[in-house]
């Protein structure tokens, strides 16, 4: 697996990409102003490190990145079926199918202690790092 940086790279971003590559057992490759299409030609699917997030570029050039999307809407909604099913007393929950973490975020925002697992390494890396670094003014999403 390859890790490279966004086109707006600097020494700090390059150092972070190199450290991430080491952490993941992947190879760091300098971007050298290559387009995403050229990177795919040279590397195949790869991780792309931006200043504020980690993404994964798939073979079809689609990009997997973390964003709380529907979780944010569900948290703000007056009713959520999952939260209703869990009841009002706080619980300790193991989410064994984290995916994009929507359910985990909703359950945590409702006051539960949630631990999430994901079997697909690419999804786990992108989402868990996204959860750790996502910044918002919405305090419910920072739990």
What is the per-residue pLDDT for 139? Answer: 64
Topology annotation, domain 2-64: Rossmann fold (3.40.50)
Residues of CATH 3.40.50.10480 domain(s) within the chain? 2-64
The arithmetic mean of pLDDT across residues 121-142, rounded, is 83
N- to C-terminal Cα separation, the chain: 31
pLDDT over 80 (residue 143)? no
CA of residue 67 relative to chain centroid, distance: 7
Could you give the strand order of the β-sheet that contains 63-64, starting from the edge strand earlier in sequence? 27-28, 2-5, 46-49, 54-57, 63-64
pLDDT tens column, 45-102: 999 999 999 999 999 999 999 999 889 999 999 999 999 999 999 999 999 999 999 9
Quick one: average pLDDT of 102-119?
A: 96
| 54: exposed, middle or buried (Cβ count in 10 Å: 0-12, 13-18, 19+) | buried
CB 48 within 8 A of CB 57: yes
């Amino acid at each position: 697996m390859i890790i490279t940086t966004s086109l707006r790279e600097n020494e700090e971003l390059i150092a972070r990409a190199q450290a991430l590559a080491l952490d993941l057992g992947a190879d760091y490759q300098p971007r050298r102003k290559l387009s995403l299409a050229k990177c795919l030609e040279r590397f195949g699917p790869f991780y792309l490190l931006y200043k504020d997030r980690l993404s994964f570029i798939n073979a079809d050039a689609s990009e997997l990145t973390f964003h709380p999307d529907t979780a944010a809407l569900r948290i703000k909604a007056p009713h959520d079926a999952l939260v209703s099913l869990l009841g009002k007393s706080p619980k300790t929950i193991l989410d064994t199918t984290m995916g994009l973490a929507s359910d985990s975020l909703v359950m945590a925002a409702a006051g539960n202690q949630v631990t999430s697992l994901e079997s697909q390494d690419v999804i786990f890396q992108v989402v868990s790092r996204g959860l750790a670094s996502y910044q918002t003014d919405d305090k419910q999403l920072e739990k």
